[in-house]
Structure 1
Amino acid sequence: MLNVIYTLLLRFEESRAQKTIIEKVNIDEVLDNLEIFYISEKLKYTCAYLSWNKMTKLNFSVENIDDLLIRAQQNKYNNIPPIAIYLTILFAKLITETINTLMNLLNYTNIRSS
């Protein structure tokens, strides 16, 4: 009889201990922080990659940059400093490249028309 009571108490304590461990680890918060870290790192390396690409004059393409921009521009990431900073740098690089391309095109059309 004592053995049965001891076994039941042991199972109850194990169950309670597992629940408190799970309650202490907030899975949603961990996943959100991992997502923030992933997006921040991806933006950082994309900015570095675009800078290296420009300095070395190699024309590598950055894949999935549109998906990254969509994810990084979500409202829940507006207050995250690394995401805001790298997103601003990335936009500056992309806009500069677009302006340079348009200026080259304009120069080319001016040369062709004269």
Structure 2
Amino acid sequence: MNFIENFFAKYSQEQIEKWFKQVCLAEAISWLFLFSAMVWIRYDRDGLLPTIYIIIIGNIHGLFFTLYLLLLFNAKKIYKWDDEDTVFALLAGFFPFATIWVDKKLARFDREE
């Protein structure tokens, strides 16, 4: 994990917060597009366009998911999360639209302890 910490050390805390919030939203939106791709491919299994669409959207969603996981460790330090909060935030990446919850509830400085 030192590699990740060293990489993000050159950026300010405000910049990392901004990126984390944007990635949380982008990851949730990419879930929506991924669901639309799955519905489209279900009704048109042999079509070329749905196949291309799901490949592109799947790769974009994978990118945002990876960025979310990378920024999660920096967000843990910034927001002073304990292990329980970190596990919830980590698991939220695996459920549709749960990263919005992380952005709105966990990623705040004024949370009641």
TM-score computed with the length of structure 1 as normaliser: 0.35
| Greater helix content | 1
Larger Rg: 1
TM-score computed with the length of structure 2 as normaliser: 0.36
